[in-house]
Amino acid sequence: LHRPSAGNASTGRHSSRGWFCTSPCVPAPLPPYCHACVARLSCVRRTLELAGFDPAAYQRRRVFFKSRRGPRVPMFLVYRKGLKLDGRNPTILYGYGGFNITLHPAFSAPRVAWLEQCRVFAIANLRGGDEYGEPWHQAGMRLKNQDVIDDGTAAAATPSTRREPAPAPPPRARR
């Protein structure tokens, strides 16, 4: 199955002989694909177009940050191209780690409105999810739940998501 990017798949009804795939592309609204197993054909089911919206004006980047007690934790950043990630941009940080669930950036019209104002959207893949298989899932379960909280705290402290005050103006000379 040829896909333009990584995505999630589901079978829909149990009687169906195909599946649907969606692309985790931010902020572009990539269409869901339909794949028929018997005929080995793929097609676009539908597309979403927003008037005046240019997905090429945005960038998605995967970064890693160091959490307490060791591991490097992945995080996706989405922002307008050319935006300086210096900690001065308002940022929505969304993090989840649990129940063996993987989080990928996905298109959202309200998120585009946020990004249009030179802001950043970050998704932290905290321990407990399925980003690195069962060991990553186990690393956030039960007595290790504090590690998930530590991951979220570390994500908020990374330079690309931390909100820092603007530098103070230079002092004026006395007359």
Q: What pLDDT score does 17 carry? A: 55
The tokens describing 158, both together, are 């990374």
Q: What is the pLDDT of residue 105?
A: 80
Residue 20 has pLDDT above 70, yes or no: no
Checking if the pLDDT of 37 tops 60, the result is no
pLDDT of residue 112: 87
Residue 37: CB atoms within 10 Å: 12
Cα distance between residue 50 and residue 108, in whole Å: 11
Asked if the model's pLDDT at residue 33 lies above 50, the reply is no
Tell me, what's the pLDDT at 80? 92
Q: Residue 60 and residue 123: Cα distance in Å, rounded? A: 11
Confidence of residue 128 (pLDDT cuts 50, 70, 90): very high
Can you tell me the mean pLDDT for 155-174?
A: 70
Please say whether the dihedral angle defined by the alpha carbons of residues 43, 48, 53 and 57, taken in this order, is positive or negative.
Answer: negative
Q: 14 pLDDT band (50/70/90 cuts)?
A: very low
Residues near 105 by Cβ (< 8 Å), separated by ≥ 6?
A: 24, 25, 26, 60, 76, 78, 121, 123
Region 43-62: what's the mean pLDDT? 77
Question: How confident is the prediction for the chain on average, in pLDDT?
Answer: 77
In this prediction, residue 126 carries a pLDDT of 95
pLDDT for position 138: 95
Q: Is the pLDDT of residue 52 over 70?
A: yes
Higher pLDDT pick, 45 / 98: 98
Question: Mean per-residue pLDDT for 34-51?
Answer: 58
